[in-house]
A and B are shown apart, each in its own frame.
Chain A
Amino acid sequence: MSTSTRPYADIPAARQQPHLVTLNAVGNAGLAAVFLLLALWIAIPSVFTSYDPLSGISAEKLLAPSLSHPFGTDYLGRDLFARVVYGTPLTLLAACVAVPIGMVFGSVLGLLAAGLGGVTETIIMRFVDILLAIPGFLLALSLVAAFGPSVVTLGVAIGISTIAPFARLTRSEVLRVSQLDFVEAAYLSGHGRLHILFHEILPNALGPVLAMIAIEVSQAILIVSALAFLGYGNPPPSPEWGMLIAEGRKYLATAWWITTFPGLVLIVAVLAFAALSKKLQAFGRL
């Protein structure tokens, strides 16, 4: 209400607060290691295991974890570790490709809504609301019902369902940053709208969006594997992680490792992306 403000202490902001990003060396190294490992599993799986993920030796079925089979074997004698490694791209790529694509569409929509305002904004945001009302899981089921089960179908569904959250976030961030004084100052300097958008607004608005990509990927991984668990991913013998966990169902009592290990790997992957998101958030605030 009143325009009188308390005088700020005349100390640079950088000195006033302890450094926001806890650049924990060990944590960062661990995180990088996990991503590196996952990337390598996708790129050169044969380096990590010499077993064939798709066929096994029936004499070796249902073996407990050991040195030769770190994750044990399944009911067909297939090495579980090999199946997990080869299953990585099926689970991760769908999420890692679909989410950024959804982000691009969503952010463009959000940007248009924020930038153009008026009726355009209302129409766009209403459309976004509609998309939000349809959960990605259900959308995936609809697509599977129409086109048959496959990981690509799941990916498309995930991609479509992330458009709405990104549209909302981008719009609110762009609106927030546009209110800041330096944007007005750029306007006063004589810059055109486009320049201001790309130079002043977007660099300061995209931080939270980047963080959201990571967290959406982590949730997408969970959704994809849940759908694979239900049988809507690639048909067997495809080694998607969700499918692996499903296969362990009959052997819960006897061969607990078939369910447990793929699950643990899944959890680690999801946690890694979630942790990445936190780091990006802190980085964006600097």
Chain B
Amino acid sequence: MTDPDIILDIQNLLVARPAGAAGPPILDHVNFALRRGDFLAIVGESGSGKTTLAHAIIGLLAEGVTVKSGQIRFGYTDLLTVPDHRLTRIRGAEIGFVPQDPATSLNPVKTIGAQLSEVFRLRARSWGGTNKARCIALLEQVGIDQPERRLKQYPHQLSGGQKQRVLIAIGFALNPRLLIADEPTSALDVTVQKQVMTVFDRLVAEHGTTVVFVTHNIALAADHASRILVMRGGKIVEGNDLAGILARPVDPYTRLLLESARSDSRPTPRRAVSDGAIIEVESLVKVFDAKARLTRSHPPLTAVDHVSFAVRPGSTFGIVGESGSGKSTTARMIIGLESPTAGHVRFNGQDITRLPRAEQRAVWRDIQLVHQNPYASLNPRAKIGEIIASPLRAHGIGSAVFRAERAASLLEQVGLPRSLLARRPRELSGGQRQRVAIARALALNAKIIILDEALSALDVVTQAQVLDLLRALQEELGLTYIFISHDLTVVKQFADDIAVMHRGRLVEIGPVAEIFERPATPYTRSLLGALPGQRLAEAVFAITA
């Protein structure tokens, strides 16, 4: 008996991996039903199957990935058995789709107008006039300025947020009953995300669309959804309406997700951090492309604009900002990978700015860096043992035997078994690789480690583990961290002091509690305000109150 109010009914969906790949099925007997008007958020991490689920509904699974069994009922149609040409008609008109990553979801060699009007051109024969008017109306609806002009532009001429709005416009263009949004804001900065979600919510309300919203961010899901499904390893581990999930999370994984997102969870207070400054940054400036040239292609870019701060020894100093804020460039100037246009960097009082190579090498015994991408920071052709001992080799320290032993003990220190010494990076997971990178950074007993978005590429579970490791190491070895991140939630859990950067300028600086509770500048306030998690906080407050 079909309940007419149920718009989407998925039963026993089993999707296997492509032939030859190891591992459990991508979707393992997934079951759920969606009522008209629901805003369903599917929350999970990479590998949970949430994206595959979204693609399965609209019939756009990757090559080699097939549905082995199950049903996807959309109204009275089973989307899995319906003939191909009928499915093509359903897409766009009855089921809409908003893809993720605006940078790659628009054809770079076609104009915005061409891609926007395509939705109409695919169906009706109407060319020219009516389509153009419709497209302009759509762009206005999503809040894009100068719509006529935008139609003639190419995707690379629009910002990320603008491109995502175009994608949303395309999704809503034919007023579908069901809209599937696949992580539409994951690639955007937090403030942009807020604006884009506002537009999204408005359109959903205006059209009365039922939404399936895929995301890895449970706080974001909580802010917008009426129901939440949590997925892990191809299965749905928990599903409930919003209030239920927030008030009574049953599954430990759900609980972990909620905890990590809460951003008010603090670790047990550590030993007090001493005063003083192990690193001092004075009026750092970095201008790219400064020289005047006849063949210059774009104007000079001031990436870092007179930034000054001090880092207390043994503390974690967080530098936060959105893309283009200059936080990474600042960190790279501290360690000497970029040479400042002006300003100074001091280490324990000594000036380490713009040193000649030999002295710079000496500085690198005390200051090291861990990169963001664990898949690019280890030489694929080297063994783990060689990678970790590499700094020792470079400085000619110890014999080969000594180095091997040191590599082994470092490996243990970062929580990995000795047996990994002889393996190559491709046999390790992302979290393991990041630990190896940390071990390498510690090889020369560095006192300061710069973590350049070192946790951003890891999933929540791994992130928590690596964070614990970093804290333990800091305790044990008295390390100072400079932690670059765009993820304020993590920074709140980890840092002692924070500097907020925006477009190259240092906007605000202070102890972490101050910044979060009493932000002084408008930018910081808007940054914090844009953070998803409002409802999460309220729910928690309601429980604990």
Which residues 180-226 of A have a CB within 8 angstroms of B? 180-182, 184-186, 188-192, 195, 199-200, 203-204
Which of A1, A11, A188 has the most B CB atoms < 10 Å from its CB? A188
Please, which residue of chain A has its CB at the minimum distance from the CB of B373?
A181
> Which residues of the other chain, B, contact A2 by a CB distance below 8 angstroms?
160, 187-189, 192, 322-323, 486
A12–B427 alpha-carbon span in the complex (Å): 5
Check B47–A11 contact: CB distance below 8 A.
yes
- Whether the Cβ atoms of A190 and B431 lie closer than 8 Å is no
A17 nearest in chain B by CB position: B21
Segment among B130-138, B204-212, B376-384, B470-478 that sits at the interface with chain A: B376-384
* A17 proximity list for chain B (CB < 8 A): 21
A204-B381 in contact (CB<8A)? yes
Task: Tell me which of B89-97, B459-467, B527-535 binds A.
Answer: B459-467
Q: How far is the CB of B44 from chain A (nearest CB, A)?
A: 10
* A207 (CB) vs chain B CBs: closest residue: B381
- Per the bound structure, the CA–CA distance linking A182 and B437 in Å amounts to 10
B379 touches A8 (CB 8 A): no
A4 interface contact, C-beta 8 A = yes
Residue among A3, A10, A14, A189 making CB contact with B390, cutoff 8 Å: A189
A1-B323, A182-B376, A184-B337 in contact; A10/B431 too (CB < 8 A)? yes
| Chain B: interface residue total (CB-CB under 8 A) | 68
Q: A11-B23, A12-B428, A204-B379 are in contact. Are A6 and B46 (CB under 8 A)?
A: yes
In the assembled complex, which residues on chain B have CB atoms less than 8 Å from the CB atom of A195? 394
A9, A17, A18: most-surrounded residue (chain B CB, <10 A) = A9
Q: A12-B428, A203-B381 are in contact. Are A7 and B20 (CB under 8 A)?
A: no
> In the docked arrangement, what's the CA distance between A286 and B425, Å?
11
Whether the Cβ atoms of A204 and B335 lie closer than 8 Å is no
Residues of A within 8 A of B337 (CB): 184, 188
Question: Number of contacting residues on A, CB 8 A?
Answer: 36
Residue on A with the closest CB to B361?
Answer: A190
Residues of A within 8 A of B45 (CB): 7, 9
Contact B376 A13 (CB under 8 A): no
Residues of B with C-beta under 8 A to A185:
369, 371, 377-378, 437, 440
| Interface class of chain A by DSSP | loop
Mask: chain B, 374-408; 1 = CB below 8 Å from A; 0 = not? 11111111100000001101110000000000000
Closest A-chain residue to B21, C-beta based? A18
- C-alpha gap A271/B390 in the complex (Å): 43
The answer on a CB contact under 8 Å between A6 and B216 is: yes
Among B188, B379, B440, B443, the residue within 8 A (CB) of A200 is B379
Question: Which chain A positions have C-beta within 8 A of B21?
Answer: 16-18
Complex-state Cα separation, A191 to B382, whole angstroms: 15
Q: Which one of A14, A186, A190, A204 lies within 8 Å of B426 (CB-CB)? A: A14
Q: Is the CB of B457 within 8 A of A7?
A: yes
Cα–Cα, bound, A200→B394 (Å)? 13
Q: Is the CB of A3 within 8 A of B364?
A: no
Q: Inside 8 A of A7's CB, which chain B residues have their CB? A: 45-46, 216, 457-460, 462-463
Residues of A within 8 A of B487 (CB): 4
**A2 closest partner in B (C-beta):** B323
Contact B458 A190 (CB under 8 A): no
Of all chain A residues, the one with the shortest Cβ separation from B389 is A189
Whether A1 contacts B160 by the Cβ 8 Å rule is yes
Check if A8 sits within 8 Å of B322, measured CB to CB: no
How far apart are B458's CB and chain A's nearest CB, in angstroms? 6
- Please determine whether B335 and A188 come into contact, CB atoms closer than 8 angstroms: yes
Give the distance in Å from the alpha carbon of A3 to the alpha carbon of B255 in the complex.
Answer: 27
Residues of A near B373 (CB, < 8 A) are 5, 181
**Separation of A180 and B430 alpha carbons in the complex (Å):** 16
Q: Which residues of A (150-206) have their CB < 8 Å from a CB of B?
A: 180-182, 184-186, 188-192, 195, 199-200, 203-204
Contacting residues of chain B (416-470) with chain A, CB-CB under 8 angstroms: 426-432, 437, 440, 443, 453, 456-463
Check A8–B430 contact: CB distance below 8 A. Answer: yes
CB-CB contacts of B205-248 with A at 8 A, as 1s and 0s?
00000000000100000000000000000000000000000000
* Most chain B beta carbons < 10 A, residue from A7, A192, A286: A7
Which of B379, B394, B428 touches A182 (beta carbons < 8 Å)? B379
Within 1-47 of A, Cβ neighbours of B (below 8 Å) are at 1-19
Q: A2-B322, A188-B364, A189-B391 are in contact. Are A10 and B457 (CB under 8 A)?
A: no
B47 touches A184 (CB 8 A): no
User: Measured between C-beta atoms, what is the minimum distance from A18 to chain B in Å?
Assistant: 3
Residues from chain B with a CB closer than 8 A to the CB of A188 are 335, 337, 364, 368-369
Contact B458 A8 (CB under 8 A): yes
Contact of B376 among A10, A181, A286 (CB under 8 A): A181
Q: Which residues of A contact B377 (CB under 8 A)?
A: 181-182, 185
Within 8 A of B (CB), among A237-273: none
Question: Known contacts A7-B458, A8-B458, A204-B381; is A189 also within 8 Å of B440 by CB?
Answer: yes
- Determine the distance from Cα of A9 to Cα of B463 in the docked complex, in whole angstroms: 12
Are B486 and A180 in contact, with the CB atoms below 8 A? no
A19 B20 Cβ-Cβ under 8 A = yes
Nearest opposing residue in chain B for A13, CB measure: B426
Would A13 and B379 count as touching, CB distance under 8 A?
A: no
Contacts of B248-298 to chain A: CB distance below 8 A: none
Residues of A within 8 A of B462 (CB): 7, 10
| Residues of chain A lying within 8 A (CB to CB) of residue B19 | 18
If A3-B323, A5-B372, A13-B375 touch, whether A189 touches B394 (CB-CB below 8 Å) is yes
CB neighbours (8 Å) of B460 from chain A are 7
B216 touches A12 (CB 8 A): no
| B543 on interface, CB distance cutoff 8 Å | no
Cβ-defined partner of B189 (8 Å) among A4, A184, A200, A203: A4
Instruction: Tell me the minimal C-beta distance from A175 to chain B in angstroms.
Output: 15
Known: A182-B378, A185-B377, A188-B368. A11 touches B391 (CB 8 A): no
Interchain CB contact under 8 A, A5 and B361 = no
- B80 at interface (Cβ–Cβ under 8 A)? no
B119 beta carbon closer than 8 Å to chain A: no
State which of A15, A186, A199, A204 has its C-beta within 8 Å of the C-beta of B23: A15
Docked Cα-Cα span, A286 to B381, in Å, equals 9
How many whole Å from B77's CB to the nearest CB in chain A? 32
Contact, CB under 8 Å: A181 / B371: yes
- Sampled A-B contacts (26; CB under 8 Å): A2-B187, A2-B189, A2-B192, A3-B323, A3-B486, A4-B188, A4-B486, A7-B46, A7-B460, A8-B457, A8-B458, A9-B45, A9-B46, A9-B47, A10-B431, A12-B427, A14-B427, A18-B18, A181-B376, A182-B379, A184-B371, A185-B440, A190-B361, A190-B391, A190-B394, A286-B426
10 extra interface residue pairs, beta carbon distance < 8 Å, beyond A1-B323, A6-B183: A1-B159, A2-B189, A3-B456, A7-B216, A11-B429, A15-B23, A18-B18, A184-B371, A185-B378, A189-B364
- Residues of A whose CB lies within 8 Å of any CB of B are 1-19, 180-182, 184-186, 188-192, 195, 199-200, 203-204, 286
Q: Which 9 A-B pairs have the closest CB atoms?
A: A9-B47, A18-B20, A190-B394, A189-B391, A7-B459, A181-B377, A9-B46, A181-B376, A2-B323
Interface residues in chain B, defined as those with a beta carbon under 8 Å from any beta carbon in chain A: 18-23, 45-47, 103, 159-160, 183, 186-189, 192, 216, 322-324, 328, 335, 337, 361, 364-365, 368-369, 371-382, 390-391, 393-395, 426-432, 437, 440, 443, 453, 456-463, 486-487
